[in-house]
Amino acid sequence: MRLRALVLAGLLLAPAAAASEQRLANATAAEVRFVDAAPPGPTVAVRLAEIQRRIQAAVIYPPLARLQRLEGETLVRFEIEPDGTPSAVRVHRSSDLPTLDRAALGAVRAAAPLPWVYGQLEVPVRFALEAR
């Protein structure tokens, strides 16, 4: 009688155990699907490269500096607002040529909207008469 009750209990509980295992498997699959809270899309490295590319593409070489064959590099520091607008744009390391520094700041502003990246960025802006 006791054996019969155990077998009957086992038969009744088997579907519940299988359903429980299935729920656990589904929950595990859902957890794996949402491992990271980062939004889908380009990585930070890809966005940083795109920011630098856009800024360099927006550079307008000052005509007088070009005529005088002046070259240099300005390191610009700024943040990017969630809408892609650069803010707190300033020269972090000067090229020692004020006209190139001003053109670098202008290139950062002209490149907007930029891909959003959290924090302060430092981007070199190069002024070279010949491609290197």
User: Both 51 and 27 in a single domain?
Assistant: no
Domain ranges, residue 7:
1-35
pLDDT at 49 over 80: yes
Strands (E) in the chain, as ranges, are 72-80, 86-93, 120-127
Tell me the per-residue pLDDT of 51-90, one tens digit each, with 9 for 90 and over.
999 999 999 999 999 999 999 999 999 999 999 999 999 9
Q: Are residues 16 and 71 in the same domain?
A: no
Distances (CA, A) of 61 to 48, 86, 96, 112, 119: 23, 20, 15, 18, 28
Residue 89 placed within a domain: yes
Tell me: do 51 and 93 sit in the same domain.
yes
Cβ proximity of 73 and 127 under 8 Å: yes
Q: Are residues 48 and 29 in the same domain?
A: no
Same domain, 26 and 62: no
Q: Which of 16-25, 26-35, 103-112 has the highest mean pLDDT?
A: 103-112
Q: Is residue 53 domain-shared with residue 99, that is, in the same domain?
A: yes
pLDDT digits (tens, 9 = 90+) for 21-44: 665 555 544 454 444 455 678 888
